[in-house]
Structure 1
Amino acid sequence: MEICLDESNAVWVMLHSGSRGVGNAIGQHFIQMARRDMAGHMHNMPDKNLAYFSEGSVHFDDYIEAVNWAQEYARVNRQEMMKLVLNCLKVHLPKFSLTSEAINCHHNYVVREHHFERDVYVTRKGAISAKKDQLGIIPGSMGAKSFIVRGRGNPESFYSCAHGAGRKMSRAAARQRFTRKDLEAQTRGVQCRKDRGGIDEIPAAYKDIDQVMQNQSDLVDIVHTLRQVICIKG
């Protein structure tokens, strides 16, 4: 959860949460089921990780239903978390008013859409929807900028753009390379966890968000640039 300020010092509350462990459990369950199904009609599959369900099969429909449930569960979680955060802020801050601008932005999800004259299932992994004039959120790393964007509706990207900066090194590599002093220096001005437990989230472990935004300028337009002042990671 982050408290951010935009270019006019308006306050934004930004939070990131998914289906948590239940989504992973659903995925593992159906991966194993797909492997068993494939073994029954393809004995020489080159890699067990290529197992899949055929559209129209019972397990395919069950999987889609479970995925949709997990995605809705994640959305409701975020809705409830936002209520809790705002109620907390009302206790500790002077009276303020809420705007009507709230952006709910999935990433790492599956959706049925129409592209290139076909109905298809689109999996946006590390990506968000960027349809024409659709608002989205592209977060940077802890201590870097984040962006509110408006989609340009580029069909070549299946109306998508990057979800965020993306890591350029693993969590383990970041812990080996950087120190607590590095973390303190790179998150100066941001109230956040600065002990060794937070080193894996150090900004240097992520790609340059400005370069990422430049690389996808044909996919989205920047509406607001946000800077974090408080960052709480669960």
Structure 2
Amino acid sequence: MAQQLRGNDLRQLGFPEGRAIGLALAQLQRKHLKRLSLTNQLTLLQQILTTPMDFVTHLDWSYVAAALLPPPSRHIELVARKPYALYGAEHIEAGALHQMDTAMKLPVTVAGALMPDAHHGYGLPIGGVLATDNAVIPYAVGVDIGCRMALSVYNLPPKHLTQRVQELQKLLLDNTRFGNRTGFQHGRKMGHEVLDREEFRDIPFLRNKQATAADQIGTSGSGNHFVEFGIVDITDPTNEMGVPVGQYVGLLSHSGSRGLGASVANHYTKLAMENCQLPNEAKHLAWLSLDGELGQEYWAAMNLAGAYASACHEHIHQRMAKALGERPLAKVENHHNFAWRETLADGREAIVHRKGATPAGKGVLGVIPGSMTAPGFIVRGRGVADSLGSASHGAGRLMSRTRAKQELSESAVRQHLTDHGVVLQGGGLDEAPMAYKDIRAVMQSQQELVDVLGSFTPKIVRMDGA
């Protein structure tokens, strides 16, 4: 044919801008269709445009028809709320309960539990545990992916802390970095095998993240992240740590995956919300199927961020052990803000999200911190099925950060710390001990979930800030 149809001819027919025009013009170049007159081509295209459903299985025109149809609705309705286990209901605010109720209405949810330290968060409440069917929810993992507790126990007597306060303060100042400062600015940077992981090369989103991760490794975040010296009191002679009953010096750190984890969380949450459109009250619970490429990408990136968080603690504890001139007798570590592939009590495999919840499977060790003036606890999980093998990740907030800043005074907080023999470097009113729940009441609410092996009482605390 001397003439052929162009894009403007299809636009005049009513074809929308987009793939359909290009697909139709390409299809018309096939030999048996080029033989048609322009009039017949236009007539055929008009039929496809008018009734695209009639052509969705047509050998020649299925792709054009599909491009003309409106995209399938990604809006997903909630279902009836499934029951979930609730621990320490008297300690939990209504907002957190409402968020957990909403999470239990997701069609992918199979089970859930709410810990006694729970409080309001984005998507799943902090302290929420959610099991889903082959789906991962970035905001049910949390922004600080793999946020972690790590405790080193040293063969030093508690009096070491009172006799060498200034020396230990300097060790913390010299060997820790907090907040947005990206480099560990003294001494030789320490590498780590996690920085050589193939995910930094294989996942397009992560290709420009390795340099910042390398710069931030071994540093801690802001907010409630800390590195602190304190007294470890081992009370259970059957503890798996191999540490005799008695009191020791301990170093406890709390932080996560830094900028790497935050960027992963925000990127994949946005994609999840685009692909899984939930009612407004549940929009932050958008999920990614693990059958899909995005879900597999997020899962790999999440595991990388978790390994990176662990590496950061490894650096901190190596530096501090070297500075102290001591090898730890034992270490106890655990993630929260993570998702695991686990088998539930009924034999189903599920993705278990623990957002601000400590893994407490049978025999699993962990650390549940209190506040600067209240002890934390070294625990052994009992593997309770109703809790999805979980426990609280701390005391939990009693006041929001905003409320704490409004209602508490610097002088009152300083006096409270002095009364408890605690030295604080950095920190802010939003992290004052009074902003947290009573850890003993929280532990009482979950005594069926964990066995207590010992305690950790903070004495010299380092946080973000001057």
Q: Same fold (TM over 0.5)?
A: yes
In structure 1, which of residues 211, 221, 228 is the aligned counterpart of residue 451 of structure 2?
221
Other-structure match for 1:46: 279
Deviation string 1:165-219 (CA, Å, 9 cap, x unpaired) is 010111111111111121112212011137xx52111111000000000000000
Q: Equivalences for 1:88-103 in 2 at 5 Å? A: 88-90=323-325, 96-99=326-329, 101-103=330-332
Q: Secondary structure at the match of 1:153?
A: coil
Check the 8 A contact 1:142/1:203 in 2, yes or no: yes
Instruction: Give yes or no for the alignment of 1:208 onto 2:465.
Output: no
The one-letter code sitting in structure 2 at the alignment partner of 1:220 is V
Other-structure match for 2:42: none
Question: For residues 98 and 29 of structure 1, what CA distance do their matches in structure 2 show?
Answer: 38
Other-structure match for 1:93: none
Following superposition, the deviation at residue 6 of structure 1 comes to 2.5
The one-letter code sitting in structure 2 at the alignment partner of 1:191 is V
Moved more, 146-155 or 207-216: 146-155
Check the 8 A contact 1:186/1:202 in 2, yes or no: no
Deviation string 1:127-171 (CA, Å, 9 cap, x unpaired) is 011111221100011121111111111111111100000101111
CA pair 119-203 structure 1, distance change in 2 beyond 3 A: same
Question: For residues 123 and 145 of structure 1, what CA distance do their matches in structure 2 show?
Answer: 26
Q: Equivalences for 1:52-201 in 2 at 5 Å? A: 52-90=287-325, 96-99=326-329, 101-115=330-344, 116-188=346-418, 189-193=421-425, 198-201=428-431
Instruction: Give yes or no for the alignment of 1:23 onto 2:261.
Output: yes
Question: For residues 327 and 250 of structure 2, what CA distance do their matches in structure 1 show?
Answer: 12
In structure 2, which of residues 241, 244, 248 is the aligned counterpart of residue 10 of structure 1?
248
Question: For residues 311 and 251 of structure 2, what CA distance do their matches in structure 1 show?
Answer: 17
Q: Secondary structure at the match of 1:144?
A: coil
Q: Give % identity.
A: 38
The one-letter code sitting in structure 1 at the alignment partner of 2:456 is L
Question: For residues 286 and 365 of structure 2, what CA distance do their matches in structure 1 show?
Answer: 35
The one-letter code sitting in structure 2 at the alignment partner of 1:82 is H
Question: For residues 97 and 85 of structure 1, what CA distance do their matches in structure 2 show?
Answer: 10
Check the 8 A contact 1:142/1:231 in 2, yes or no: yes
Q: Secondary structure at the match of 2:343?
A: strand
Other-structure match for 2:102: none
TM-score by length of 2: 0.46
**How many residues are paired up?**
221
Check the 8 A contact 2:374/2:458 in 1, yes or no: yes
Following superposition, the deviation at residue 97 of structure 1 comes to 4.7
The one-letter code sitting in structure 2 at the alignment partner of 1:151 is G
Following superposition, the deviation at residue 68 of structure 1 comes to 0.6
The one-letter code sitting in structure 2 at the alignment partner of 1:73 is Y
Other-structure match for 1:37: 275
Other-structure match for 1:42: none
Check the 8 A contact 1:127/1:163 in 2, yes or no: yes
Q: Secondary structure at the match of 1:230?
A: strand
Following superposition, the deviation at residue 50 of structure 1 comes to 4.2
